[in-house]
């Protein structure tokens, strides 16, 4: 995607964000912030539990290796990777090369790359299952308008198909097959020719990916369950934000808010930093649930503040890891 189009999308999203803030009023948003008060602390800390589940799933997937990093090192790398992904908003891959390099001293470069690919598949599978849950709850809680039901039905079919595709990838691998597919696509065959010398490596990574599913199905289920649990815990954030402004919602409503909003953001992933798409989708979902839509925009702002807190911590971890690597390189 060209930089001009990225800039255009960013400007458009910023315009939507500005419009919603103006419509609601800065004074009200500030008043809601004051009312939330000390609840900002558990809102920020809750994300630490979410990251612990993510790190646990990744750590479980590395259990077959001769050596693996300690859990808390995997946790720190997970947080740092999240921060780097956020500051590369178009593709969210800035954290993956860092994670590969960070665990390479334990696993070796190739198996480190395989572990990151395997974890990303587990993470995506857990996310898709969470989306499916939100879609089902949405069908029960949202107004039974034909357009809404049609959207939810289409989303359910697409998400279920993606779940089947990912499970098939865990069973049979797919990296080498993807390379074969690239060779057959006219516009991507040049990319395939460049990757062809890596075919043996891709085949080894496929073997690493399928090993968890076939040899340790219990660990595979545990890892996916941890990823699903991380999304379920994350929905508590919406309960806390609502509590901070005196609004009472139940967990099912919070799941619909968080799940459908995240689904929309992943579909419209091309907008940098999700500017406007997060605020707009939360505004709409709150309205459809019969809640004050202004609180949807406030919720988006609180979640951005939480993101900034964890991004700062993650970037600090990246900096400390770089200093540690320099010290080890300088040691005799």
Is residue 330 situated within a structural domain?
no
Residue with tokens 């919406």: 238
Are 137 and 263 within 8 A, CB to CB? Answer: no
Give 109-153 as a DSSP string.
HHHHHHHHHHHHHHHHHHHHHHHHHHHHHHHHHS---HHHHHHHH
Q: How far apart are CA 211 and CA 204, in angstroms?
A: 11
Is residue 149 situated within a structural domain?
yes
Are 87 and 94 within 8 A, CB to CB? Answer: yes
Is residue 329 situated within a structural domain?
no
Domain range for 161 is 28-319
Is residue 277 situated within a structural domain?
yes
Q: Output the pLDDT for position 294.
A: 84
Is residue 148 situated within a structural domain?
yes
Tokens of 184: 């057959």
Q: How far apart are CA 86 and CA 93, in angstroms?
A: 9
Q: How far apart are CA 254 and CA 236, in angstroms?
A: 7
Are 256 and 134 within 8 A, CB to CB? Answer: yes
Q: How far apart are CA 286 and CA 256, in angstroms?
A: 10
Is residue 3 situated within a structural domain?
no
Q: Residue 174: name the closest of 230, 255, 120 by CA.
A: 120
Q: Output the pLDDT for position 83.
A: 81
How many structural domains comprise the chain? 1
Tokens of 206: 């496929």
Per the document, the length of the chain is 332
pLDDT tens for each residue of the chain, 332 residues long: 445 555 565 556 566 656 566 766 666 666 667 777 788 899 989 999 999 999 999 999 887 776 889 999 999 999 988 888 777 655 455 678 888 988 998 988 888 888 898 898 899 999 999 999 999 999 999 998 999 999 999 999 999 999 998 888 878 776 767 777 767 776 666 766 777 777 777 777 777 778 888 888 899 999 999 999 999 999 999 999 888 888 888 999 999 999 999 898 887 765 555 666 788 888 889 999 988 888 888 888 888 888 888 888 887 877 766 555 444 444 44
Is residue 286 situated within a structural domain?
yes
Are 94 and 85 within 8 A, CB to CB? Answer: yes
Q: How far apart are CA 167 and CA 160, in angstroms?
A: 11
Tokens of 327: 């010290």
| Cβ neighbours of residue 226 closer than 8 Å, sequence gap 6 or more | 53, 54, 56, 57, 60, 126
Are 78 and 51 within 8 A, CB to CB? Answer: yes
Q: How far apart are CA 163 and CA 44, in angstroms?
A: 30
């Amino acid at each position: 995607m060209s930089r001009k189009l990225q800039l255009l999308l960013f400007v458009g999203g910023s315009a939507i964000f500005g419009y919603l803030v103006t419509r609601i009023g800065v004074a009200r948003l500030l008043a809601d912030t004051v009312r939330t008060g000390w609840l900002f602390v558990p809102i920020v800390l809750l994300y630490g539990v979410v990251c612990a589940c993510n790190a646990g799933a990744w750590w479980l997937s590395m259990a077959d290796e001769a050596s693996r990093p300690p859990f808390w090192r995997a946790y720190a790398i997970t947080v740092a990777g999240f921060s780097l992904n956020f500051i590369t908003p178009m593709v969210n891959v800035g954290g993956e090369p860092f994670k590969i390099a960070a665990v390479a001293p334990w696993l070796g470069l190739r198996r480190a790359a395989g572990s990151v690919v395997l974890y990303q598949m587990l993470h995506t599978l857990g996310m898709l299952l969470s989306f499916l849950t939100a879609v089902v709850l949405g069908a029960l809680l949202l107004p039974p308008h034909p357009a809404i039901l049609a959207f939810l039905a289409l989303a359910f079919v697409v998400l279920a198909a993606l779940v089947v595709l990912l499970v098939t990838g865990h069973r049979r691998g797919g990296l080498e097959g993807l390379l074969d597919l690239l060779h057959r696509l006219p516009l991507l065959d040049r990319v395939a020719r460049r990757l062809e010398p890596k075919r043996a490596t891709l085949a080894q990574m496929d073997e690493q990916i399928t090993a968890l599913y076939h040899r340790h199905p219990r660990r595979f289920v545990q890892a996916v369950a941890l990823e699903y649990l991380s999304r379920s815990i994350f929905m508590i954030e919406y309960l806390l934000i609502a509590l901070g402004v005196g609004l009472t919602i139940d967990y099912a409503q919070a799941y619909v808010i968080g799940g459908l909003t995240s689904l929309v953001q992943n579909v419209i992933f091309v907008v940098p930093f999700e500017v406007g798409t997060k605020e707009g989708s939360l505004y709409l979902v709150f309205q459809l649930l019969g809640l004050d839509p202004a609180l949807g925009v406030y919720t988006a702002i609180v979640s951005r503040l939480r993101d900034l807190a964890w991004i700062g911590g993650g970037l600090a971890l990246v900096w400390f890891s770089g200093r540690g690597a320099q010290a080890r390189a300088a040691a005799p």
